[in-house]
């Protein structure tokens, strides 16, 4: 993961000084976003290390003695949430939870990839990699930890192990890339920041919904959010690599498309 951070940070820094194919097509905001995971965590390595340590602690604790240590605070929070349910909150969280469901995530991921393809192949590749790699990562982690789901008052059916929350990981993998796609269609930093706020709020709402609906412990969704930071760093590295290899048009930088060469 450290290698991914170095690659993503190097690509981000290089993009600041070298005009790429996207800049020539009027997509400067895409190549020079105000913030990326690598630019945020680059000067804050201690924060990234802390996030990794906390995630490791949660994962180990969730796999030992039926997560006895985590249940000391997970269960009281879960019972408090369930005791304060209401009709309006039920409706809200049932609906918002759908935005992290498999059907929505796969469909929206395909749509974002299609929208990105004509503007920048590299972004489309990153979206596809994020959409397809997340289920594999989720499956491996759930199998390794093997934590049982809450057995209290579930409002929906939860299947499989509980740690980490798949809905939260899916939300980060999909909605966390929304600002990258938005940057392909606008030069407005205001719109870009609006997409960041929207994505962040939606991810947090989806995380809260899984606890509210009783299908995940609070530590499950916290672990999903923490893991999301590393996941986005990895996808940023993929995006940087895709840009270096093929650029936005799917051809290597400095090479001409085949049709243009024939015209000469």
Q: pLDDT by residue (tens digit) across 117-135?
A: 988 899 999 999 999 999 8
For the chain, report the end-to-end CA distance as a whole number of angstroms. Answer: 45
**What is the pLDDT at residue 28?**
67
Rg (alpha carbons) of the chain, rounded to whole number: 20
16 pLDDT higher than 70? no
Q: Which pLDDT band holds residue 250 (cuts at 50, 70, 90)?
A: low
Q: What mean pLDDT comes out for the span 238-246?
A: 86
User: Which has the minimum average pLDDT: 13-17, 18-22, 47-51, 238-242?
Assistant: 13-17
258 pLDDT higher than 50? no
Q: How far is it, in rounded angstroms, from Cα 113 to Cα 109? A: 6
235 pLDDT higher than 80? yes
Domain boundaries, the chain: 2-251
Q: How far is it, in rounded angstroms, from Cα 130 to Cα 133? A: 5
């Amino acid at each position: 993961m450290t290698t991914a951070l170095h690659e993503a940070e190097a690509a981000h820094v290089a993009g600041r000084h070298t005009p790429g194919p996207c800049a020539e097509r009027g997509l400067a905001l895409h190549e020079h976003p105000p913030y990326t995971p690598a630019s945020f965590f680059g000067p804050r390595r201690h924060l990234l290390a802390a996030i990794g340590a906390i995630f490791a602690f949660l994962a180990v604790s969730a796999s030992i003695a039926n997560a006895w240590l985590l249940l000391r605070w997970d269960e009281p929070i879960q019972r408090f949430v369930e005791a304060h349910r209401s009709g309006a909150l039920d409706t809200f969280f049932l609906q918002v939870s759908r935005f992290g469901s498999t059907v929505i995530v796969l469909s929206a991921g395909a749509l974002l990839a299609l929208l990105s393809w004509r503007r920048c192949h590299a972004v489309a590749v990153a979206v596809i990699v994020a959409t397809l790699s997340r289920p594999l990562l989720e499956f491996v982690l759930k199998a390794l930890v093997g934590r049982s789901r809450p057995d209290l008052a579930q409002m929906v059916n939860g299947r499989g192990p509980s740690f980490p929350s798949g809905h939260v990981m899916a939300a980060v993998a999909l909605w966390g890339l929304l600002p990258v796609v938005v940057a392909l269609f606008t030069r407005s930093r205001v719109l870009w920041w609006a997409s960041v706020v929207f994505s962040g709020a939606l991810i947090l709402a989806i995380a809260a919904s899984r606890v509210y609906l009783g299908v995940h412990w609070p530590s499950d969704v916290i672990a999903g959010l923490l893991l999301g930071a590393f996941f986005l760093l990895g996808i940023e590295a993929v995006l940087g690599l895709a840009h270096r290899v093929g650029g936005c048009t799917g051809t290597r930088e400095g090479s001409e498309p085949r049709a243009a060469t024939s015209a000469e």
